[in-house]
Amino acid sequence: MLSTVITLAAESSEHGEPAVHPYLVGAIALGTLLLMLLALMSFGGGREHS
């Protein structure tokens, strides 16, 4: 599977256009991090610190 991804990435780089838009990758990463932050805040909410 990894070799297929590498092959597709190499083929798409020859055309000059990225296969996936960089802003889309950034938005997905930001969304994932925000969801993880919300999960952390909800699990730790209301507990006293020791």
Q: What percent of the chain has pLDDT over 70?
A: 78
Task: With respect to residue 48, please indicate whether it lies within any of the assigned structural domains.
Answer: yes
User: Which pTM value belongs to this model?
Assistant: 0.57
Question: Measuring CA to CA, which residue among 29, 25, 18 is closest to residue 9?
Answer: 18
- Encoded tokens for 10: 């190499």
Task: With respect to residue 40, please indicate whether it lies within any of the assigned structural domains.
Answer: yes
Range of the domain at 45: 21-50
Task: With respect to residue 46, please indicate whether it lies within any of the assigned structural domains.
Answer: yes
Q: What percent of the chain has pLDDT over 90?
A: 34
- Encoded tokens for 47: 């507990």
Q: Determine the Cα–Cα distance for residues 34 and 42; give it in Å rounded to an integer.
A: 12
More confident residue, 7 or 31: 31
What's the 3-state SS for the chain?
A: CHHHHHHHHHHHHCCCCCCCCHHHHHHHHHHHHHHHHHHHHHHHCCCCCC
Number of independent structural domains in the chain: 1
Task: With respect to residue 44, please indicate whether it lies within any of the assigned structural domains.
Answer: yes
